[in-house]
Amino acid sequence: MPTTAQEVYSQVVRILSPNERLRLATLILNELVQQNESVIDQGDTWTEQDQTDLANFSLQYASTIFPEDEELA
């Protein structure tokens, strides 16, 4: 049985259809809102992990918008 979020994602969530993944995300987020827990850090300080996540996302996004053109290589 998966024990970490990454294992659950890799073994269970990844194989779901996009619609089912969206439904799962909605269920999770709605439950968090109903629990009224402060899960989101409201601080305005960026941690090193925040900066790394942003850089990784930006690079992934850029690679989809500007695919490498083999003719230029």
pLDDT tens digits, the chain, 73 residues: what are they? 778 988 988 899 999 999 999 999 999 988 887 776 665 666 788 889 989 999 999 998 888 888 776 555 4
Does this model's pTM top 0.85? no
CB 13 within 8 A of CB 24: yes
Cα separation of 7 and 9, whole Å?
5
